[in-house]
Amino acid sequence: MSDEKSMRRVPKQARSQQRIDLILAAAADLIADIGYDAVTTNAIAERARISIGSLYQYFSNKDAILHAITERYIEHRRQVAAELLQPDVIAGVSLPELVDRYLDPMVAFYQDNPAILHIYLGSDISPEMAAAYAQADADSVAQIAHMIQLRVPHLPDQRAQVVAQVVKAAMKALMGLLHSNANATEQNLISAEFKHMLVAYLESVMQNANDTREES
């Protein structure tokens, strides 16, 4: 389990895992409510309705809890991408549907876990967490480039990489907009507009690649 790296004690029973889930859920709620800086381990224990001693059985400090939350988020991103990175899936759906399949689970996850946006967009995370996010972003760029080239096999590697970087940067900007608009209806409207923009951009990339191929 990915949480093991950040934990003091690895759960071996269902009851222990339930307590860890409770701690992480309480921490995430507090981060979403008051921000990471204001959160303390005592507040997390109080929100989880456990003793501070029980919390420290599993996590050595607040950063370790943040690390575990981050690992779960990164694992979720990997799972979403893995489900899409199948040639038959990518080739068998329209571009708008492909964008829906990639973005909708991400947006839903952010809406269900608003603390992730506080962490992902925050500047107060540790260098270790910043490095973990940077690696996850690099992995996402590689995955997006791969998906694009499955749709347009003749697109040069360098162009696919640049397009993927642009898409990833735009997605991060989308997360910032979602973070600043807590209303779910507004978030859905913003997401829909973003998808229109992204589809138009990718269609132009593919058309340009096809035109260039025909000219050559």
Instruction: Write the CATH number for 168.
Output: 1.10.357.10
Whether 30 and 77 map to the same domain: the answer is no
Structure tokens at 3: 């949480």
Residue 126 pLDDT grade (very low, low, confident, very high; cuts 50, 70, 90): confident
Indicate if 8 and 83 belong to the same structural domain.
no
**Domain total in the chain:** 2
Per-residue pLDDT, averaged over 119-142, amounts to: 80
Residue 63 lies in a domain: no
* Residue 38: CATH number of its domain: 1.10.10.60
Q: Which residues, including other chains, have CB under 8 Å from residue 79's CB and lie 6 or more apart? A: none
pLDDT per residue as tens digits for the range 61-88: 988 998 898 888 888 878 877 877 777 7
Clarify whether residues 121 and 40 are in a common domain.
Answer: no
Which range of residues forms the domain containing residue 193? 70-215
Helices 127-151 and 95-112: crossing angle in degrees, nearest 10, is 160
Distance CA 2, CA 49 (A): 25
Percent over 90 (pLDDT), the chain:
42
Rounded to an integer, the average pLDDT of 163-178 is: 92
Question: Residues of the chain with pLDDT > 70: what percent?
Answer: 91
Summarised one tens digit per residue, pLDDT across range 30-69 is 988 888 888 999 999 999 999 999 999 999 998 899 889 8
Residue 132 domain flag: yes
Residue 202's identity, in one-letter code, is: L
Tell me: do 37 and 132 sit in the same domain: no
Alpha helices in the chain (DSSP H): 14-34, 41-48, 52-58, 62-84, 87-91, 95-112, 115-121, 127-151, 157-180, 184-215
Residues 30, 108: one domain? no
